[in-house]
Structure 1
Amino acid sequence: MALITAAATFAGCSSSPSSDGERPSYTTSDDVQARVLPQLAANGDDVESADDASWVVDATVAGVDEGTTVTLLAKTDGGDWDEVSEGETDADGHVALTSDTAGTLVVVTGDGDDAIGTEVDTSDAPEPTFTDEFDDADSVDGGPDAKWRTRQQGRTGVRTCSHADPSAAEVTDGVLVLSVEEDPAGGECQLPGRRKMFPYRINGHVGTESIFGFTYGYAAARIRTQSARGQHAAFWMQAVGGQQPGGPKAGGAEIDIMEYFGDDHPEGGLTSFTYFLDKAGKKQTLGGWLPDVDDLGDDWAEKYHVFSVEWTPEEYVFRIDGQVTQRIEGETSGREEFLILSLLSSDYELPRFNGELPETMEVDWARVWETGPEEG
């Protein structure tokens, strides 16, 4: 492992916390940079509060080989220092670590006299500005206090065989359940060039338009997806007032934080995209299918995972449970954006349907930490 010799200040005076629980010894070095992100990691089977999610520590170590081990330590209630997370650097020296423990955290790499590190604190993470734990049945379409409303999406565009309907979005037992179901009005739809008929469908499709929007920061949702192909779960954002030509900064963008197209998809099933209109009004697309999805997990329809985006004026950083999955650099939306959660059955997906209706997507919570352009 290659480490760097740098001017530094000695911090700590004891051995590894794995042996005696005391503060670790390391040399404070500018070669270890770290920042505390919000609570963006919480995979598991059960419903949990957003406040119980893990903080993410985004760390970079300069001058080390890919695969260098980095350790995160936290001070427990009993006063001992314990290792709470460990990871390996990528080719650029980046690593994402997590902590369930609030307070001071220490990021360390190397052993003995060669150990270098830095200190951060969870209080440095931004405070949430929007949270919905879906504990209130009126949270969706529930009158003036609703945080989400069913979007007015009829049978049009790429969804001529389906439309949004309030009955396909239900809040129950602390979870928002979005469904794709056969349209109770009946009828069948025929796609151009195909002989097979498909039952018309209704989709769960809700958003915070005219209720909540923000510009720059973090947006996250804890989601358990559908399993079947033929529809896709999605957590995304659109510009308030609609996109306009002129590029993303002036005209806004669609930011697809996650889309899941079903188990056993040949491309892995997960995507992150952004769309905007250039100065000529032509649609531009960035992003794509997430590579190496199996390294991130294979239980999307079985467990909840936190899907998030960090949106700054210079880039979008997409994460799953705090792990960076895609980074899109360059000019980003400079407009206020609102949140959308949906389970949509597009026409092009219907021939690939391999499940049983209803198919469902579950959302445990959604949260935003607005930073504004300067912090972002």
Structure 2
Amino acid sequence: MTTFVRRTAALACVAVLAACSSNSGGTPGGTPGGPSDETSQPDFTDGQGISAVVLPQIAAPGDSAEKSTDADFVVDVTIEDAQAGREVELQVPDGEDWTTEDTGETDAKGRVTLTVAQPGELRVVSGGDTPVGVNLSTDEVPASNFADEFDQLDPAVWGTRDQGYAGVRLCSRASDEAAEAVDGVLRLSVLDDPDKGACREKSKPYAYRLNGHIGSAYSFTYGYAAARIKFQPLRGQHGSFWLQGFGAEPTGDAKVTGAEVDIIEYFGDDHPQGGLTSFIYWHPTAKGKTAGGWLSDPEQFGDDWSSKFHVFSVEWTPEKYVFRIDGQVTNEITQGVSGVPEFLILSLLSSDYELQQLGGDDKLPQHMDVDWVKVWPTPAA
């Protein structure tokens, strides 16, 4: 792919994400005392056998557009040696007591994801024979240095990528006409190309298509990137949120050459494999390698990808990528980890191999709506 080359320097990260356990169990601020009657939780030993970290605001399923600052913070909890099904509570201060904000049960690895809407002090507690807990704060979350709410499509930030009638898309090209800000969202579309006739794929005629396909002038290295998206309903095109390094795709270690990071791709409501993928592409040799694949059992994260917004995110560290939907981990990949600046891409692409899946050109246009995109960078450890 040809890369959109305009860029700006990333701003410095002003906060570092780190788990903490600064206070003992009891009332807010570490004052000795038991938990509130509302929570029915016993006193706990702080930090022993439990770890938790507060992630950015990357959970916001819903019908309507909303600001990125209205999304929920995510708390990722692991309890050592916990069996699946152990109940865990996320609590917030309520005067001199604590009240429960969210509950969940550990999976087979002792892990559970909880959410909280309001910033401030938090604690995670779990009962049982040996009650455990940890005190946290949303102040631990790194500061965002890039956010776009798409009140307008700023040409100084986003540009249509140079992709047209080539490669796997001989029947489509990127176009400014297929990317616009509409009612506070970015609308990416697949449209008929009015200036061309029919394109033939496997001897069948199809209308030439215009694709919404934009790249950012902003780039970063390591951190969290998230977008709140409502995807297109039909097959025949795929919506994507992804990262890519600048320049050509050189051969070598991804730490030096970069990688394509497909945070999420969606291939339509009726796709037999559920429609959702996350992939990494890099080139240790000329042949190239991939990691990732179709999300198994996507129904556990939702089944309304074209009727509701969801937040799709990646946590990119020097060691791995962690992919999430509304804060729930969908995949972790330790291969092909890029170590160079990557920029953001949002696209709705109609590749030639999927044209026949649409069911007729009369079903165009198709639309993918992006409510917002946001990045919280973190420095390498």
**Per the alignment, do residues 339 and 17 of structure 1 end up closer, same or farther by CA in structure 2, a change over 3 Å counting?**
farther
5+ residue gaps, structure 2? 1-22, 27-32
Match for 2:133 among 110, 113, 117? 117
Match for 1:310 among 310, 315, 324? 315
Q: Paired residue for 2:169?
A: 159
* Structure 1 residue 75 corresponds to structure 2 residue 89: no
Give the structure, 1 or 2, with the largest relative contact order (CA under 8 Å, sep 6 or more).
Answer: 2
* Structure 1 residue 62 corresponds to structure 2 residue 80: yes
Instruction: Give secondary structure in 2 for the equivalent of 1:11.
Output: coil
Instruction: Give secondary structure in 1 for the equivalent of 2:371.
Output: strand
Instruction: Report which stretch shifted further, 258-267 or 325-334.
Output: 325-334
Q: Alpha-carbon deviation of 1:240?
A: 1.5
Instruction: State the Cα RMSD in Å.
Output: 1.7
| Count of residue pairs the alignment pairs up | 351
Match for 2:34 among 1, 11, 14? 14
Instruction: Give secondary structure in 2 for the equivalent of 1:18.
Output: coil
Match for 1:244 among 205, 225, 250? 250
Q: Paired residue for 1:3?
A: none
Match for 2:366 among 359, 363, 376? 359
User: Identical aligned pairs, as a percentage?
Assistant: 52
**Per the alignment, do residues 354 and 80 of structure 1 end up closer, same or farther by CA in structure 2, a change over 3 Å counting?**
farther
Alignment of 1:328-343 (within 5 A): 328-330=333-335, 332-343=337-348
Instruction: Report which stretch shifted further, 26-35 or 195-204.
Output: 26-35
Letter in 1 for 2:63: D
Q: Alpha-carbon deviation of 1:95?
A: 1.2
Letter in 2 for 1:106: R
- Residues in 1 aligned to 2:67 and 2:301: alpha-carbon distance in whole angstroms: 22
Q: Paired residue for 2:60?
A: 42
Letter in 2 for 1:91: A
Instruction: Give secondary structure in 2 for the equivalent of 1:351.
Output: helix
Are the aligned partners of 1:16 and 1:25 in contact in 2 as well (CA < 8 Å)? no
Letter in 1 for 2:69: D
Letter in 1 for 2:226: A
**Per the alignment, do residues 19 and 33 of structure 1 end up closer, same or farther by CA in structure 2, a change over 3 Å counting?**
closer
Q: Alpha-carbon deviation of 1:14?
A: 2.9
Letter in 1 for 2:350: S
Using structure 2 for the length normalisation, give the TM-score: 0.88
Are the aligned partners of 1:275 and 1:284 in contact in 2 as well (CA < 8 Å)? yes
Are the aligned partners of 1:205 and 1:341 in contact in 2 as well (CA < 8 Å)? yes
- Residues in 1 aligned to 2:97 and 2:236: alpha-carbon distance in whole angstroms: 51
Letter in 2 for 1:202: L
Letter in 1 for 2:149: E
Residues 4-61 of structure 1: per-residue CA shift (max 9 Å, x gap): xxxxx962233455368xx973221321101111111001011111011111111110
Q: Paired residue for 2:20?
A: none
5+ residue gaps, structure 1? 1-8
Residues 142-182 of structure 1: per-residue CA shift (max 9 Å, x gap): xxxx2111111111111000000001001021100000011
- Residues in 2 aligned to 1:322 and 1:36: alpha-carbon distance in whole angstroms: 11
Q: Alpha-carbon deviation of 1:344?
A: 0.3
Residues 281-302 of structure 1: per-residue CA shift (max 9 Å, x gap): 2210000000011111110001
**Per the alignment, do residues 204 and 281 of structure 1 end up closer, same or farther by CA in structure 2, a change over 3 Å counting?**
same
* Structure 1 residue 170 corresponds to structure 2 residue 177: no
**Per the alignment, do residues 25 and 42 of structure 1 end up closer, same or farther by CA in structure 2, a change over 3 Å counting?**
same
Q: Paired residue for 2:228?
A: 222
Q: Which runs of 4+ in 1 moved over 6 A?
A: none
- Residues in 1 aligned to 2:67 and 2:42: alpha-carbon distance in whole angstroms: 31
Match for 1:180 among 173, 190, 193? 190
Residues 274-327 of structure 1: per-residue CA shift (max 9 Å, x gap): 00001x322100000000111111100011000000000100000000000000
Letter in 2 for 1:275: Y
Q: Paired residue for 2:287?
A: 282
Q: Paired residue for 1:205?
A: 213
- Residues in 2 aligned to 1:96 and 1:357: alpha-carbon distance in whole angstroms: 38
**Per the alignment, do residues 35 and 256 of structure 1 end up closer, same or farther by CA in structure 2, a change over 3 Å counting?**
same
Are the aligned partners of 1:314 and 1:331 in contact in 2 as well (CA < 8 Å)? no
Q: Paired residue for 2:157?
A: 147
